[in-house]
Structures are given as C-alpha cells and as structure tokens.
Amino acid sequence: MKKYTGYLFLLVFLTACDKDAEPEKDASRQLVVCGVSDPINNLKWLNDQFKLFQGGPLINGIVLYRYKGRKVIEVQNGYASSTNQHQYYCDGEKLNLDHPETFTQFKKDREEIAVLYGTNLWGK
C-alpha cells in the first residue's frame, strides 16, 4: 500500500500544478498592452509585423519589455538576420539601437513584462 501512496501523491501534485497554471495563461491573454487588450490584433503596426511571421510560435515571438520607463515591444521573427532592429514603442516607432553599445545597454536595462506570442527566442 505504501508503494501506491507515492504515486497517488505525485498524481495529486501534478494535477494541482496543471490547474494553477491555466489561470495564468488566461490572465496574460487579458493583459492590456499599450492601452488595448489583444495587442497583436488591435495594434495595426504590430498585426502587420505578426502577419510576416513564417512558421509558428516555436520560431517566433512577441515580447513586451519595460525600458527607461516606457513599454517596448520586441518582434522576434525566427528568420530575422539581426536582433537589434525589431524593437518598437507602443505607437510603432522603432527604437534606434543601431550602435552595438546602445543595443547592449538596451539588453542590460530592459525588464521583461510578458511574452505576448510564441517564444522569447532572443532571451536575455
């Protein structure tokens, strides 16, 4: 009987973890970004970028950061040849991260808020 108690405990633990994880997913879908819910569909410039993705969420990502007191959306296209040309403010204005030291500072100082789509490919 003791042999099965461990399995029962594991089953209860795993089931509880799954139930706890689901509301977090739902909460992130309701996240208001740049003044809108569902920013991928409700921010035209972001939706245009999203439509350029080839492949799915495993090779693409849209990540929301806070940088210097402002929200920044990074569009991580798996086929992009650079990582410093895809950061935008809420209004679609592109950040100027052309100089390596500027991009290094951005990576150092940014704070991830949420992954809005897919995977954070470029990470920290």
Instruction: Check residue 115 and give its pLDDT.
Output: 97
| pLDDT tens over the chain, length 124 residues | 545 444 444 333 443 433 333 223 344 457 899 999 999 999 999 999 999 999 999 999 999 999 999 999 999 999 888 999 999 999 999 999 999 999 999 999 999 999 999 999 988 6
CA dihedral of 99, 102, 104, 108, whole degrees rounded to 10:
-170
Report how far residue 30's alpha carbon sits from residue 12's, in angstroms, rounded to the nearest whole number.
29
| Strand spans (E) along 1-124 | 32-33, 36-37, 60-67, 70-77, 87-89, 111-118
Token pair of 70 as six digits: 């402002």
* Close Cβ partners of 25 (under 8 Å, ≥ 6 residues apart): none
Closest CA to 71 of 99, 31, 19, 15: 31
Distances (CA, A) of 11 to 5, 15, 18, 24: 10, 6, 11, 21
Instruction: Check residue 124 and give its pLDDT.
Output: 63
